[in-house]
Chain A
């Protein structure tokens, strides 16, 4: 070890450092250095990654930070021991919490107050000891606080200003008896990153490179130096070089010293956490199984107890139980998902709703002795009420013991090309073209230049390409994880600094979930789920209007009518299985059991699709192909999925059984499948897996297919436990849709925005399902959609649904409150009365009139518009002397049905009158265009013409450029398939038209009908239908 770099900033000094922490560590290792210090600006964001890599390489990592001081430059602090690290975190927390997001303000006195266990390096470009004016008192106060742990930092970057700074430093170091230590300010691991560092500087300052001037570094001397070069640079101060080693030796702190313990819940006297967990679990088990649990369940529970006790995780389970209890008490619908569904304890505690013993789920996916890492329980919460739960956690544990986990926003191809292009001063339109061609996973290369019709070989474009690809994956700024919490028995700010998030009342730690996981810390995931809000609202409606007390637990299982409905692909609004692709799968899969829904959810995923598992599974299920296993040993693993691996757990088990992976290796495989670690790590399993499988007598083709599926999981792996939890919600929503369509639709519309379809499609679907939907009315409607008795006892449904004011575009809730307040006092006698007493502005009144919401007071919408304008004018200009100007009666042209529907869509996203194509059907039929019901009945391979409204466009990455469009008319949906060549020939129509005509061929199989487009055109009609924006997913 020749020296220790003491002042290194990674790219976690956002938009300053130009190397990943891992790169700094790796390069230091390659240079033969035994240790490196990470000193990011006002934070320890990158230390976990650096530490993990350093551990792998057998290097030491010194943890520190460059702290910004109020008007006094910066100071480098390095942790000597655990106390020093805690002080560093506390200090940064102090500076961050009092500042706006992204800022940190600290006084030198505060630094001195937290000096314990810390080494301070003062000097460099912006240190106190090199400033023009010598603040003697401040230097003395530092000397007093840090003692011999304060060093004068001598930096040399071969700049002309070095000499002046150095002269001042040396004088002051002598005067205050400070030891001299040498370092360079490392901003990148290798000088080749200098241009990227310049670009990052420009992004940070919002300037172009051509005008950045002295904001940029003067030269490329900020790379890690080879030991010999470092010694040469400070040859006149050999002691200062040796002192870097002395500091390295003084600092013994490593992240392994973080002894984390979980906060203790309120435990009854005389019981341990484990004892209390056991008691609660057994009590829950008796509830779940209606008495003493079966033997296999007890055995599983005991197995889990043993591991939890051994690993001391009881507190975590008790916390989850407490949160679930809070949700129950507050009537907030919640349900655990993820790998927790593999745990019988979670099931008995009521955290999850899937019985893992009955489902045969793999417990090791959740928790294993060998892995010894904290369990991961994700709790889904009704999305409109999640904030209540978050604030409960803050309140219960306090902001010192609970903080949300960060989410590091990184450069992706689009943002990278935009930011770099801006810095290079390239035309925005060119950069925009490139950005639009880049996908989430791609990089800027020849094909993108060609696609944008730009020359990638001009010097500036070559810079753009190189820098854009270099900056990919660099941290851009810190955001907040959707629901991840870190809880600690000790204050969290002793582990990691806490800072303010942009969102009010939120605080966030400086590590993301991968850092937290890597250190084995416990995190809670409190996630919002719209479907739970939907269910919650629906249960409340059932209770309120029909006195039916239904819950997730009491919904009858295996309901035949529900499965019949799903087999008909009637699943609009059903959680997870409502998309076009899922709908197309339902008639093929023909689900008849809960587990079929689990498979249905898992099947339409990139994993099984890219792994080519879907069609073999369907063929076997339909009896068209024999169920076989590549090796007899795999039958127990694959039996439930007919010999085809579909789930992440199966892949793990398969690796263990077929490729002799140890549980640890299988777990590593799972980790490498995770999306965040895609840097080719999955490839290292290829040879190992395939070779071992072939050696065991498994067909090489099958082995390759399994491996491809694993790669697919890397894009979006779906574990069986996830699917099992989701399937419960899917079944519940399907049951409600089948048996209580009015309540189902009402609650679905009140839970918007969520799901796959627009309100207009939900309303149209409900109407096809014989739900009576009544229009928004100022006399009858509430803010939300409501239920009303049906018009007659013989109606198809006992209840009808009234649309709520929330669906009038641009009408705020405050406007509705004014209406409600006035209406509560007395019913509106007339439009004039409404205008007078509600005090609504003209804009709001016109919106109501256009939407037909004034129909009870004035049935003619145009007349209502004319009248409200007059009344508002009178209200604003009260007639003087009581002189009233009488209006001449004006007659306006009545709105046609077509116009009414168009107005409805323009003003309220939907129409209760009818579908936009309904009034045009006559004209469409006149030119031979039939509705969706007719198309659905056409035989396979027949050629036809059709016209419909586009409600959804999709171009999934797994579909090789094929575009899927869902068309809708008054009779239902038509699924359109557009091959790339047809897309290119009609791209403008495909991308822009809302109402489109198609000529194509029918593909009908297993009750699933697709229209394969040959050409697209705009139907020539006298009137053009109006519809809201389609929902496009790419």
Chain B
């Protein structure tokens, strides 16, 4: 590899944030590590810098200085995704792309052998810069040189895109780069700054043995890289093949049977791809692009991770049977979400349970596939005073073995109505016997509730649990007592 290029996407988290909030572009803005007063400012734009804000300040301190400051958090996942997207984009220009692990936004590219394609390296570099700008909206510089270190140093120091014609030119430019711009997690520059070693040239003037003795292996490695006595080969990034299959249909299709067969053809390669990665399917996401109608998205989940195509297709069939297409499908898109297969040998030693949870879960998966995720729910208790606030229904993800707890037998039990029934009566006078009130009130911070509950006996001897809603001045039946 005789030619290296370094791409520097400046302040990537800040660019991502401003991409999200286009309206902030001309306002003081900053990326913070957490959206709290004590959050630290990580990146700032020039409008914030002009107002004397600096990286490292606390959010509250910065806000007290610049009340118009806009901030947001850019998460590690978002940055990692952006790095992957940029790397994928760069792979269109060179097969060898290496993202810098230490700082998101720096990439090395193998720039060898591209003259034939682009005519010149300047054109190649310019097209990279143009592609990042137009397709991702990111501003970057591209430096083409002769070494990993030289191109990196120059790309970090200067916000310009260019090509070095001679190795000496690159070395000369790199020597003038301020050492502070090259700080990494492995290489602290403060000890060198204290020694008056400010540029790469000053750094290279120090004896290698003296550096190793005083500053250790990392500093020595940098010294050798800078001096050219150590060459670190490019570690090319390999993009993950998406576990996604798509099919454009010549004629709009509305038959669920034919759609099922088409989906089956798409699921097969997906299972093969996941199998090759040692994964199994946990979810199939289906996207139906309709002819002159909004697209429909559905997903099905097997009871457990599987590569059994028959099981997956059966779930898809059940889901398709419930669907009605407003127009014909003109494109099908299937994404398989995988999970690394677990070791199941341990299961051999487990005594088979009398109740087959697996079968139950498979059945639930079929019900979910046919009726939707909210068709299978279970009850979860909550700590609330209002009867309806003491529990909630939540979708059941997976059935687990029940552990029954002995509960003392209650002589009476209240069976709540899902929605309390309004009563025609305006007093307790209609009931022969009643007990109460028991008052439940609260919720003043959202919508105040005040209910006076009573147990009442109807003439036929049946018992009701009723309440008077003081705020609405109305009576409701909340439960039957059995």
Contact = CB atoms under 8 A, between A and B. Distances in A.
B214 A869 contact: yes
A434 to B, nearest CB: 11
- Pairs of residues from A and B, 7 with the lowest C-beta to C-beta distance, nearest first: A213-B383, A432-B37, A869-B214, A893-B196, A160-B438, A219-B439, A888-B207
Interface string B464-477: 00000000000000
A159 interface: yes
B442 A216 contact: yes
A433 B213 CA distance: 51
Given A429-B35, A436-B60, A885 B209 contact: yes
Interface in B158-185: none
A344 B314 CA distance: 103
Q: Classify chain B's interface size.
A: 35 or more
Given A218-B442, A429-B35, A433-B63, 4 more contacts: A159-B439, A892-B195, A991-B65, A993-B52
30 contacts: A158-B438, A163-B435, A194-B441, A195-B445, A198-B444, A210-B446, A213-B384, A213-B389, A214-B383, A219-B385, A219-B439, A424-B445, A428-B37, A429-B35, A429-B59, A436-B60, A436-B64, A846-B194, A862-B195, A865-B195, A866-B214, A869-B191, A869-B213, A869-B215, A870-B214, A885-B209, A885-B213, A890-B206, A987-B65, A988-B66
A463 B446 CA distance: 10
B439 to A, nearest CB: 4
A220 interface: yes
A933 interface: no
B208 to A, nearest CB: 10
Interface of B: 35-37, 51-52, 59-60, 63-67, 191, 194-197, 206-207, 209-210, 213-215, 382-385, 389, 435, 437-442, 444-446, 453
A850 B213 CA distance: 20
Nearest to A159: B438
Contacts of A893: 196
Contacts of B195: 862, 865-866, 892
Contacts of A862: 194-196
Interface in A850-893: 850, 862, 865-866, 869-870, 873-874, 885, 887-888, 890, 892-893
Among A158, A195, A463, A993: residue with most chain B CB under 10 A: A158
B63 A873 contact: no
Contacts of A215: 383
A209 interface: yes
Contacts of A433: 63
A904 to B, nearest CB: 14
B445 A460 contact: yes
Interface string A432-449: 110010000000000000
A209 B448 CA distance: 13
B441 A160 contact: no
Interface of A: 158-160, 162-163, 194-195, 198, 209-210, 213-216, 218-221, 424, 427-429, 432-433, 436, 453, 460, 463, 846, 850, 862, 865-866, 869-870, 873-874, 885, 887-888, 890, 892-893, 895, 987-989, 991-993
Contact of A873 (B194, B214, B442): B214
B440 A218 contact: yes
Contact of B438 (A162, A865, A890): A162
B265 to A, nearest CB: 49
Contacts of A850: 194
A160 B414 CA distance: 13
A585 B349 CA distance: 90
Contacts of B65: 987-988, 991-992
B155 to A, nearest CB: 28
A574 to B, nearest CB: 34
A215 B383 CA distance: 8
Nearest to A160: B438
Q: Is the interface of A mostly helix, strand, loop or mixed?
A: helix
Nearest to B209: A885
A195 B66 CA distance: 35
A869 B197 CA distance: 15
A794 B439 CA distance: 92
B51 A892 contact: no
A160 B383 CA distance: 15
B196 to A, nearest CB: 4
B438 to A, nearest CB: 4
Nearest to B442: A216
A888 B63 contact: no
Contacts of A198: 442, 444
B52 A865 contact: no
A988 B51 contact: yes
A433 B437 CA distance: 45
A162 B440 CA distance: 13
Contacts of A195: 444-445
B297 to A, nearest CB: 32
Report which residue of B51, B52, B442, B453 has the largest number of chain A beta carbons within 10 angstroms of its beta carbon.
B442
Contacts of B60: 429, 432, 436
A698 to B, nearest CB: 48
Contacts of B213: 869-870, 873-874, 885, 887
Contact of B196 (A432, A463, A888, A892): A892
A711 B282 CA distance: 74
A429 B59 CA distance: 8
Nearest to B216: A873
Contacts of B382: 213
Contacts of A874: 213
Contacts of A887: 207, 209-210, 213
Contacts of B66: 988
A865 B194 contact: yes
Contacts of A424: 445
Nearest to B215: A869
A953 to B, nearest CB: 14
Contacts of B383: 213-215
Contacts of A463: 444-445
B97 to A, nearest CB: 38
Contact of A158 (B37, B67, B196, B437): B437
A257 to B, nearest CB: 41
Contacts of A432: 37, 60, 63
Nearest to B37: A432
A969 to B, nearest CB: 22
Q: Which of A213, A424, A460 is packed against the most chain B CB atoms within 10 Å?
A: A213
B437 to A, nearest CB: 6
Contact of B191 (A216, A865, A991): A865
A162 B453 CA distance: 13
A1019 to B, nearest CB: 14
Contacts of B384: 213-214
A218 B385 contact: yes
Contacts of A865: 191, 194-195
A222 to B, nearest CB: 11
Contacts of B389: 213
A162 B215 CA distance: 73
Contacts of B385: 213-214, 216, 218-219
Given A429-B59, A866-B195, A209 B440 contact: no
Given A160-B453, A198-B442, A862-B194, A453 B210 contact: no
B441 A210 contact: no
A812 to B, nearest CB: 21
Nearest to B441: A219
A706 B150 CA distance: 78
Residue of B64, B382, B384, B445 most packed against chain A (CB within 10 A): B445
Contacts of A429: 35-37, 59-60, 63
A1024 to B, nearest CB: 13
B192 to A, nearest CB: 10
Nearest to B382: A213
A163 B455 CA distance: 12
A219 B196 CA distance: 71
Contacts of A219: 385, 439-442
Nearest to B202: A893
A165 B438 CA distance: 14
